Copies of this chain bind each other. A is one copy, B any other.
Amino acid sequence: MKVITVREKILKANSQAARENRARFSRKRIFVINILGSPGAGKTSLLEQFAKSGKIQFAVMEGDPETAMDAERMERAGASVVQIITKGSCHLDANMVQAALPRSDLDGKDFLFVENVGNLLCPASFDLGEHRRMVVLSTTEGADKPFKYPAAFKTAQAVVLNKIDLIPYIDFDMDLFTRGIEQVSPKAKVFPVSCRLGEGIDELIDWIEGMKK
B-binding residues in A (CB < 8 A): 6, 38-40, 64-67, 69-70, 88, 90, 117-122, 138, 140-142, 144-145, 147-151, 163, 165-166, 169-171, 196
User: For residue A150, which residue of chain B has the nearest CB?
Assistant: B66
**With contact pairs A6-B6, A40-B140, A140-B163 given, residues A148 and B67 touching in the complex (Cβ less than 8 Å):** yes
Copies in the complex: 2
Note all chain B residues with C-beta closer than 8 A to A138.
40, 140
Beyond A38-B141, A90-B90, A171-B196, 19 additional contacts (C-beta under 8 Å) are: A6-B6, A40-B138, A40-B140, A40-B141, A40-B145, A64-B148, A66-B147, A67-B147, A69-B144, A88-B121, A90-B119, A90-B121, A118-B149, A121-B122, A138-B140, A140-B140, A140-B163, A166-B166, A170-B196
How many angstroms from the CA of A72 to the CA of B138 in the assembled complex? 23
Contacts of A6 in B (CB 8 A): 6
Q: Which residues in B have their C-beta under 8 angstroms from that of A120?
A: 38-39, 118-119
**Closest B-chain residue to A45, C-beta based?**
B142
For A151, what are the chain B residues with a Cβ–Cβ distance below 8 Å?
A: 65, 88
Q: How far is B147's CA from A40's CA once the two chains are assembled, in angstroms? A: 13
By a CB distance below 8 angstroms, the chain B residues around A140 are 40, 138, 140, 163, 166
- Cα distance A118–B147 when bound, in Å? 13
A142 neighbours in B (Cβ, 8 Å):
39-40
**Chain B residues closer than 8 Å to A149, beta-carbon distance:** 39, 65-66, 118
Given the complex of chains A and B, what is the CA–CA distance between A140 and B166 in angstroms?
10
Residue from A66, A90, A117 having most chain B Cβ neighbours under 10 A = A90
Q: Which residue of B lies closest to A141 (CB)?
A: B40
